[in-house]
Amino acid sequence: MLLKELTEIMGASGDEKEIREKIKSIVEPYVDNVYVDKIGNLIACKKGKKDKPKIMLAAHMDEVGLMVKSVNEDGTLSFFPVGGVDNRILVAKTVKVGEKGINGVIGAKPIHLQKRDEQQKPLDFDSLYIDIGATSKEEALKHVSPGDYVYFDSNFEILGNGYVKAKALDDRIGCNVLIENLKNEYEYTVCAAFTVEEEVGLRGAGVAAYNVEPDFAIIVEGTVAADVTDSVPHLVSTELGKGPAISLMDRTTLYDKKLIDKIAKIADENKVPYQFRRIASGGNDAGKIHLTKGGIKTIAVSVPCRYIHSFNSVAFLEDFHNTVKLVDLIIKNIEKEALI
């Protein structure tokens, strides 16, 4: 399964080379032009019968991770997060360190030695360290160095009936959607931007949009779902099994209500299930893309994922397939529904 291959590749913000090369090798047979821009975005363009409107699809390649900031005298590693990592989920997790993939375990003061007040609050990053089995700084430095990336040690697996768990579903599942859509033929030129450094400030997206100069952009994300026990209904955001989530607003973008209504109409007419993303926190590459040059009409369609920005996220494959369908239908109905 392609999603398994994509999610198991290591590629945090600023370290997207391996995932970029993998995606490039996959899409080359389906496009007319593929290149890497100066910041590292992979741009794959497929010419249509019509030059206008030019459509941009965007999904980010990078995942959240960690980075070694120093090697301690006892051989343990201090680290900081790359992107929005929840420190509450780190203790005792296994990781891979550096290009060699050195095995490590995230450690902390044992609970038996913690004071009562320490037990009542999550450990911050300065209270955590990575144990690679080294007994001294000198020994550790033979294998790792400051600036090395640290990755979640997690494999793709099938769960239950149609669910999957993996690291990096945000946003390798979006990259997978773009790959599937590039296999289709369209009337219009479609450029897929597989962007870099989204998790540390949407850094690649604006550069990609500036280079592509699209008339319309569709951002495909893996977005937060909180449809689990004891969730407050109005804070659920999205739910697995309810189809792709159309964004209304988030921290970086206010989406055009008329466009949203037209996208919903396309989904209704073609019997594609969908939902609305019901929180305004977070953001995605739309935040930079819609502000590029003179402005670009932009929408965001996302695959709901539980537990994003952690060692294991969970998604429902039918939501992925329906997102592929909806993006395809949006492209095919650009002029009919006057989306630009």
DSSP category for residue 134: -
Q: How many CB atoms lie within 10 A of CB 109?
A: 14
Q: Where are the beta strands (DSSP E) in the chain?
A: 33-36, 42-46, 50-60, 65-71, 77-82, 94-97, 102-107, 129-131, 149-152, 157-159, 163-166, 188-195, 216-225, 245-247, 275-277, 297-306, 313-316
> Would residue 73 show up in a list of annotated catalytic residues for this protein?
no
Give the span between the Cα atoms of 195 and 206, in whole angstroms: 9
Give the span between the Cα atoms of 18 and 59, in whole angstroms: 16
Strand partners for 219: 58, 300
Amino acid identity for residue 258 in this structure: K
Active site residue: 63, 180, 198, 199, which one? Answer: 198
Give the span between the Cα atoms of 179 and 288, in whole angstroms: 22
Tokens (6 digits) for 294:
């003179």
- Residue 161 burial class via C-beta count within 10 angstroms: exposed 0-12, middle 13-18, buried 19 and up: exposed
- The secondary structure of 194-224 as a DSSP string is EES-GGGTSHHHHHHHHHH--SEEEEEEEEE
Backbone angles phi, psi at 20, to 5 degrees: -60, -45
Catalytically active residues, by annotation? 198
